[in-house]
Structure 1
Amino acid sequence: MSNECVLRVDLTLDENNLEEGALKLLSLVRPEWNQEEIKFKVFTAGISNKLIGGYLPKDKSDMVLVRIYGKKTELLIDREAEIRTFVLLHQAGCGSKLYARCNNGLCYEYLPGVVLDPKTVREERIYKLIIKEMIKMHSIKPQDGAVTSPCLFRLMDKYLSIVPDKFEDEEKQQRYIKTVPSHDQLRKEVGDLKSALTCLEMPIVFCHNDNLLANIIFNEQKGKISFIDYEYAAFNYQAYDIGNHFCEFAGVEEVDYNLYPNKEFQMKWLQEFLTAQNEANSVEKKVTERDVESLYVIVNKFALASHMFWGIWALVQSHHSTIDFDFLEYSKLRLDEYLRRKDAFLALTLPQ
C-alpha cells in the first residue's frame, strides 16, 4: 500500500466549521452511516492541529477521526512523508488505519483508550507496555527509497532557518526579545549539541519522535499501548526517542520539570528496555549494569536535544499557529530547561 492507494478527496476543511467537512468525509468512508445520527467529539489535547471525532451513539468505539492541519505546519512537517508513515505503521501493526486524505487534513481510525498522565506513565505495568511498543516501532525496516539518516539535526537546522526575526504583535515581540535566546546563540547551541551527540554510538532506528503523554493511548481491556500522531516519525537516534519521552513526563499544558524521571527510575526503565530489546531480537546476552549506565548517559544527553528541538519548533509555531496555546511561553520553558540541565548532562561520562 502506497500514498497513491489512500483515498484522496478534493476537499478543503474549514477550521471554523470542521463538522461540515467531517460529514463530507464520513459520507465516503462510512457511507452506511445515517448522517443525521452522527455525533461529534472535539479533542483539545493537540497543539499542532485541530481534531474532531465522528461516531454513532450506538457504538462510540467505532469513531472516525478528522484532523485539519494547523496553519503553516507544512513548514515544519513533510505531509507526504506523514502519509507514508501512517501506511507503514499500520502495516506493522503499530498505528491507526488511514481512511482518506483531503487538501488540508486526514481521516483515520480512532484507537479507543485513555491518554496517559504524569502518574500512569510511571506505573510499571504501563511503562513495560510503552517499552514493548517502542521496540516494535524501532524494529520497522526502511521502505525502498526512504531516508534513513537521522532527522534530528536536519530538522533543527530547517526550523532555525524559519524562526521569525520579528513578531508583528508588539507585546509578543518584547517577550521574545527578553525571554528567548538570540538566533546566534541558538545556532551556537545547536552546533555544540551536534558535536557532543553525533560522536556517541547509538543505533539509528525508526522513531516516533513525539511520545508526549497525550500521544500514548492505554487500552486497559486489551492490555495494550498505542502511539498516535505520526507527524514527526522518522529515522532518528534511538536515544532521542527515549530521552524525548522522559522529557514529556513533565506534561504540556501544565509543565513541571520536577517530574523528569530521576536516575533510579530511569535505570529500572532502561534495564527493562534493553532486556526486552534483546528478547525481541533473539539476542541471548545478559544486560549488564554497564550497558544500562551507558544508555542512561547517552539518553540524558539526547534529552537536551529534545528541549532544543521543541524550543525552536515552538518559536516557529508562535509566529504562525492559530491554535489557542502560548507557544512563546512553551519555547521559553523548553529552552530554559535546556540551559538548566546542559552542563550536568553534558558532563555525564560513559562507564569505562
Structure 2
Amino acid sequence: QLFTDGITNKLVACYTDEGMADAVLVRVYGRKTELFVDRETELRNFQVLRAHGCAPDLYCAFQNGLCYQFLPGIALGPDHVRDPHIFRLVAQEMARVHAIHANGSLPKPILWQKLHKYLTLVKTDLSPKVSNPSLQQDVPSLEMLEHELAWMKETLSQLGSPIVLCHNDLLCKNIIYDGTQEHVRFIDYEYTGYNYQAFDIGNHFNEFAGVKEVDYRLYPSKETQLQWLRSYLQAYKQLTQGDQGGTGVSEEELEALYVQVNKFSLASHFLWACWGLIQDKYSTIDFNFLRYAKLRFKQYFKMKPVVTALQISK
C-alpha cells in the first residue's frame, strides 16, 4: 500500500496479513532532500527515541531510505488535533519527548543553523528566478528575508525558552492515535533535534491549519491553547522534576509559555516557507510547493505585529 500524504518522501507499507498485523514500512527519501535533511542525525534521533519508547522499531537503513515497524492506529487530521481528549494525549507525548535528556551536555538549538542553511539554499537556487514576476508578487526579496531572520534571532532567542529534544515537524499526519491503547505516537524524525521548546509547540499549533488545504482560521484559539499548554506543562514538570512540590501549573507559567509559543510560531512559518521554495525546485512529489511557501510567508507577515505585541508579564 502506497501512502500519498507525505510531501517529503515516498512511503510504502508491505504486508501479507490483511489486517496489516505484520506490516513493515519502507520509506524512500525524496529527491534532493539531503540538501535540508541530515540522514545520519535522523537515524541517531530515531534510535534515541526508540530507546525511550517514543518510536517504532527500526529494522534497517539503506542509502536512500529506511525500513521500520508499522504502528497501528490512525494518522490524525485537523479535526482530531482540536479534540480535547486527543490533544491532551498529544501534549503529554510531546512532554515525554521533550523530557529526554541530552546526556549532561547543553545542546545548541538547531533553529538558527537550519534557517541560515535554508536561506542560503534559497539564495543559490532562486537568484535566477527572483526576476520572475509571479515569484516576486508574494515572496519577499532576499534582503528582506535576511532582515527578518536577523530580527527573529534577536527577538526570539531572548525569550528564555528551554532547549529540549524536539520533533520539529508535528503536522497532524505525523501523529498516530491508537484508540485501543489510548495513546499517541509521533512518526517521521527527519527534522528532529534539540530546539526551543516553544518552537515545537508553536509549529504544531500552526499545523492545526492543515497542509493540503491550508486554513489559518483553524489556528487554535487562546482558550484551546491554554488547555493544551496546561496538559503539556503538568506532564513536562512531572517528568523533569518528579513530584517535588506537586505538579501544579501557575497562571504566570501558563501565560509565559503561551506568549513564547505564539512568538515562535513566526519562526515556523518562515522555516517552512523557505523549505517550500527549495522543494519547489527539486521535489518530484505532486504538490504545489510554491503556493504553500507563499501562504506561509503571508501568514508570517500577518501574524508578526499581532505576536510582537504579546508581552510576558514580569
Global fold match (TM > 0.5): yes
Give the 5 Å matches for 1:212-291: 212-281=171-240, 282=242, 283-285=244-246, 286-291=248-253
Quote how far apart the aligned CAs of 1:143 are.
5.3
Query: Which of 74, 87, 90 does residue 127 from structure 1 map onto?
Result: 87
Q: Partner residue of 1:297?
A: 259
Q: Report if the CA contact (8 A) 2:46-2:189 is conserved.
A: yes
Point out the more displaced range, 336-345 or 99-108. Answer: 99-108
- What residue ranges of structure 1 are gaps of 5+ in the alignment? 1-40
1:124-273 matches, within 5 Å, as 124-142=84-102, 148-163=107-122, 164-166=125-127, 173-273=132-232
Matched, 1:87 2:50: no
Q: Structure 1 residues 82-91 or 244-253, which shifts more?
A: 82-91
CA distance in 2, matches of 1:209, 1:72: 20
What SS does the corresponding residue of 2:43 show, helix, strand or coil? helix
Moved more, 77-86 or 56-65: 56-65
Q: For residues 173 and 316 of structure 1, what CA distance do their matches in structure 2 show?
A: 16
Paired amino acid for 2:279:
Q
Contact persistence 2:92–2:231 (CA under 8 A): no
Preserved CA contact (<8 Å) 2:163 2:196: yes
The answer on 1:349 being equivalent to 2:311 is: yes
Equivalent residue for 2:5, pick from 45, 70, 91: 45
Give the secondary structure class of the aligned counterpart of 1:56: coil
| Structure 1 counterpart of 2:65, one-letter code | G
Deviation track 1:86-124 (CA, whole Å, cap 9, x = no partner) reads 111111100011111112111111111111112111112
Percentage of identical aligned residues: 46
* Count of aligned positions: 309
Which residue identity lines up with residue 255 of structure 2 in the other structure? Answer: E
Task: Report which of the two structures shows the higher radius of gyration computed on alpha carbons.
Answer: 1
Query: Which residue, out of 64, 88, 92, partners 1:104?
Result: 64
Q: 1:284–1:83: structure 2 CA closer, same or farther, 3 Å change rule? A: same
Distance 2:296 2:73 in 1: 29
User: Residue in 2 aligned with 1:11?
Assistant: none
Tell me the amino acid that sits aligned with residue 313 of structure 1: W
TM-score, reference length from structure 1: 0.84
Look up the SS of the partner of 2:146 in the other structure.
helix
TM-score using structure 2 length: 0.94
CA RMSD of aligned residues (A): 1.7
Q: Quote the residue 2:281 is aligned against.
A: 319
Runs of 4+ displaced beyond 6 Å: none
For the Cα contact (< 8 Å) 1:167–1:319, is it kept in 2? no
Q: CA deviation at 1:167?
A: 6.2
Report the equivalent of 2:302. Answer: 340
1:183, CA displacement in angstroms?
A: 1.1
Tell me, in whole angstroms, the C-alpha distance in 2 between the residues paired with 1:109 and 1:266: 32
Quick one: distance in 2 between partners of 1:131 and 1:157?
A: 29
**Deviation for aligned residue 1:142:** 2.3
**CA apart distance, 1:62:** 2.0
Cα distance in structure 2, aligned partners of 1:273 and 1:220:
20
Residue in structure 2 matched with residue 63 of structure 1 by the alignment: 23
- The amino acid that maps onto 2:107 is T
Secondary structure at 1:201's aligned position in 2? Answer: coil
- Deviation, structure 1 residue 175: 2.2
Q: Distance in 2 between matches of 1:90 and 1:104?
A: 21
CA offsets per residue over residues 3-44 of structure 1, 9 Å max, x none? Answer: xxxxxxxxxxxxxxxxxxxxxxxxxxxxxxxxxxxxxx0001
AA in 2 matched with 1:333 = L
Contact 1:278/1:284 (8 A) holds in 2: no
Inter-partner Cα distance in structure 2 for 1:143 and 1:231: 21
Whole-angstrom distance in 1 between the partners of 2:161 and 2:138: 34
Structure 2 gaps, min length 5: none
**1:109 aligned partner, one-letter code:** Q
Q: More relative contact order in 1 or in 2 (CA 8 Å, sep 6+)?
A: 2
| Distance in 2 of aligned mates of 1:337 and 1:206 | 26
- SS of the residue 1:325 aligns to: coil
Q: Give the Cα separation in 2 of the matches to 1:173 and 1:327.
A: 16
